[in-house]
Amino acid sequence: MRELCRRKDVEIINAESCPDHIHMYVSIPPKLCISSFMGYLKGKSTLIIFERHSNLKYKYGNRVFWCTGYYVSTVGNNKTAVYRYVENQLKEDMMTEQITIKEYRDPFKGGK
């Protein structure tokens, strides 16, 4: 991601990689269209990931690796709040995952 952002003069301010998604706080130059940059980032990173980890090609058929959507927002006066949000995402996701752990045994019957 760093290399792809560097090629487009996009500054990564903060980023957090979670098991199934990525949060990035970036500064995109005004000359770039956000949707074009996201298409570039997701498309090129998919090719790089499949090149480095060829076993994933079979797991994710038709070269579909990232979901089709993304969320973008402008920061304005909330720079520190957004920075903290991205920084704490992995910890918050782990806490949420612990809360939603499925029980594989029926606690009332003692079986599966």
Q: From the candidates 40, 70, 83, 85, which is the catalytic residue?
A: 85
71: annotated active-site residue: no
Rounded to whole angstroms, how far apart are CA atoms 112 and 107?
9
Question: How far, CA to CA in Å, does 20 sit from each of 33, 71, 81?
Answer: 26, 15, 23
Distance CA 67, CA 21 (A): 9
Catalytic residues: 85
